[in-house]
Amino acid sequence: MSGKWTVLAILIASVVVALHQPCHAVDVRAIETVRNKGVLDNRDLQIIDEFLAEAVRELVEAEDFSSMSKVRSVIVSRKSTKSSAREQYEEQFSTFARKHISTGLQQAAQFAPQQRRLVVLANLLLLIDGLGDVQLVDLALSWLADENMVIRYMAVRAVTDADVVQQLNATKADTLKLAQNIVQRLGALVGQSSPEVLGLIAQFAADVSVPEGEELLGLIADMRSGRYRNWTVKYELLDATILKLLHGKLSSGGSNQAALGRRFCQLYSCVIQRYVKGKDFLNEAQKQQLAAVLAEVENACIAKLLGTPQGTIKRAVEREDMMGLLQEHDRLLGDNARAGELPRKLGFDYGTDPDGGKRTAPLDVPAPPRRPEGTD
């Protein structure tokens, strides 16, 4: 969680506008009275409507990020109640929140200059994220493909929120259809998103209880393997997360064990091959990230899959023993002569070779491209 909020803080810091006049405080006296009632009448419903109208308007009209943040906190802290009218209150809160946030998004989209538009839209999407209400998710869906990476990140956060996932996993026809729609929309972003966004999408894909989620996680793994093979991958630490999510699906009985195993082993192979073949190509930060992925996945995943303690890869990395690392790669994952322990254990192969036989080795990562002359 802290890592995600660090990324969020960095993104927001680039678009925060300077302080102008502070916003007026939202009046919460009436809504607090309603929250503590046992039964709500028509006047109470009107108060909920008026509270959200005022609060969202205050957020949209605020002149600085700090004021917007305070308004968001006021709204989110009043999304539920412990009174006996909880179900009635929360249903009406959701209905009116949807109405007024929708209006706010439409207004913010027309704002100029672009910096103000960006900050207000980001705060409205943060509000949707903070409310964690599946009934609001479609308000964020239309912003998933926004050209601005801050807005895209906020929109993805809103639709992949853990509370939203829990509601999507309820066995209802309407949430099932929405979950499938979200997976489809997120899938369209896989090839064009930052590592931060990919991490959110991968976690959602692993957590949502529809078969399409597992397919989306596989798509992400395939894309990352492809980036390793053409030497365009960025932020290698992400693959520790993706590999652990694949392992989680393998351990919990994912619907296609062979495909999950193949993708796990192929991606892990790519990490090893990049580390070995890039020893004179990669910078120190990249090498450290790869080393961390190799050791973490060996301990957290491979040891559990094989049912025995592992440590050969970690020791080979510590000793910079590239030959020993490749030998362990072949033992675990396979080579052209024989299948590895993991493919045998998990019951998969790597597809068909040009001669029609079953591949026993992962796809190769070619040598790194030559650096242009004059570069380090």
Check residue 8 and give its pLDDT: 52
Check residue 10 and give its pLDDT: 46
Q: How is residue 370 annotated by DSSP? A: P
Residue 294 zone, left/alpha/beta (φ > 0; ψ -120 to 50; rest): alpha
Check residue 371 and give its pLDDT: 66
Check residue 265 and give its pLDDT: 98
Q: Give me the half-sphere count of Cα atoms (radius 13 Å) on the Cβ side of residue 274.
A: 31
Contact present, 66 and 119 (Cβ < 8 Å) = no
User: From the DSSP assignment, how many helices (H) and strands (E) are in the chain?
Assistant: 19, 0
The Cα 335–Cα 44 span in angstroms is 70
Show me where the domains of the chain are located. 1-158, 160-367
Angle separating helix axes 257-277 and 238-251, nearest 10 degrees: 150
Question: How far does the chain reach from its first CA to its final CA, in angstroms?
Answer: 36
Beta bridge partners of 352: 358
Cα-based angle 280, 286, 291 (whole degrees, multiple of 5): 95
Check residue 16 and give its pLDDT: 42
The Cα 245–Cα 260 span in angstroms is 10
Q: Which of 163, 165, 227 is nearest to 190 (CA)?
A: 227
Check residue 370 and give its pLDDT: 81
Check residue 354 and give its pLDDT: 84
Backbone angles phi and psi of 122, in degrees to 5: -60, -40
Check residue 374 and give its pLDDT: 47
The Cα 93–Cα 87 span in angstroms is 10
Check residue 292 and give its pLDDT: 98
The Cα 65–Cα 119 span in angstroms is 7
pLDDT along the chain (376 residues), means of 10: 46 42 72 94 97 97 90 96 93 97 97 92 97 97 92 96 95 88 97 94 97 97 98 97 97 88 98 97 97 98 96 97 98 97 96 90 95 51
Beta bridge partners of 339: 334
Write down the pTM of the prediction: 0.90
Q: Which two tokens stand for residue 174?
A: 């309407």
Contact present, 144 and 159 (Cβ < 8 Å) = yes
Check residue 12 and give its pLDDT: 52
